[in-house]
Amino acid sequence: MTTSTTHTDRVAIVTGGSRGIGAESARRLAADGFAVVVGYAGSAAEADRVVSDITTAGGRAVAVGADVADETAVAAMFDTAEQTFGGVDVVVNSAGIMILAPLADFDLDAFDRIQRVNVRGTFVVDQQAARRLRAGGAIINLSTSVLGLALPTYAAYIASKGAVEGLTRVLARELRGRDITVNAVAPGPTATDLFLQGKDEETIARMAAQPPLERLGTTDDIATVVAFLAGPARWINGQVIRVNGGIV
């Protein structure tokens, strides 16, 4: 007799899970039957609210604080997932920061912060995932469609996400024979705090009008694709999925 893993015994870790795309992805995966570890850096109360949303709806979830760039903290987060729910099947790397300024004026300490969270953080989490995910698993990194738009002031952010796309493709090949997919989701302009911060209404309206669908994306738009890659999309591997309403 053969047995198969179903959503009801699968476990997901979602970094950056306290807000925005990460929080919506955590809720969506829980609704699909995953037990979810909601990873967060500094937003414990918001992470607890996401856990409460999931458990109130009948799901299973726990919040774990971890700096994604700290390999010891990330290993401990995976330990918690294994000890609480029995293993790890899916990892969603949603933790990230964005700081905008022209390249010529960009503060190098701020540049280092972006690379530490977005590049090193993704690398560290992916490293643990590569070591510990069960067969049939999925690693889903978060990039950005801004790479294609090449907007002024986004140079440091684009540099970090270009690195994420590169390591996504390499890791997919390194996991040959493991039955683990590795992909990246690249949202376009999406109505999250990260995107809206520092933008005036005119700028937001102009960016919302750019896609043929003439609106900003929603966190649900992105979480739907994350859930697809985490579940039925077993023949998509080593790809960057641009989820942007046709903007690029």
Residue 7, pLDDT score: 52
**Residue ranges of the chain whose pLDDT lies below 50:** 1-6
pLDDT for 8: 59
CATH architecture of 7-243: 3-Layer(aba) Sandwich (3.40)
Write down the pTM of the prediction: 0.93
CA 45 to chain centroid, in Å, comes to: 20
List the catalytic residue out of 34, 111, 154, 157.
Answer: 157
User: Looking at residue 225, what is its pLDDT?
Assistant: 98
Residue 99 burial by Cβ neighbours in a 10 Å radius (0-12, 13-18, 19+) = middle
- Is 157 one of the catalytic residues? yes
**What is d(CA 36, CA 126) in angstroms, rounded to the nearest whole number?**
17
Quick one: pLDDT at residue 189?
86
- Residue ranges of domains in the chain: 7-243
User: Angle at CA 20, nearest 5°, toward 162 and 79?
Assistant: 80
1: helix, coil or strand?
coil
pLDDT given for residue 124 in this prediction? 98
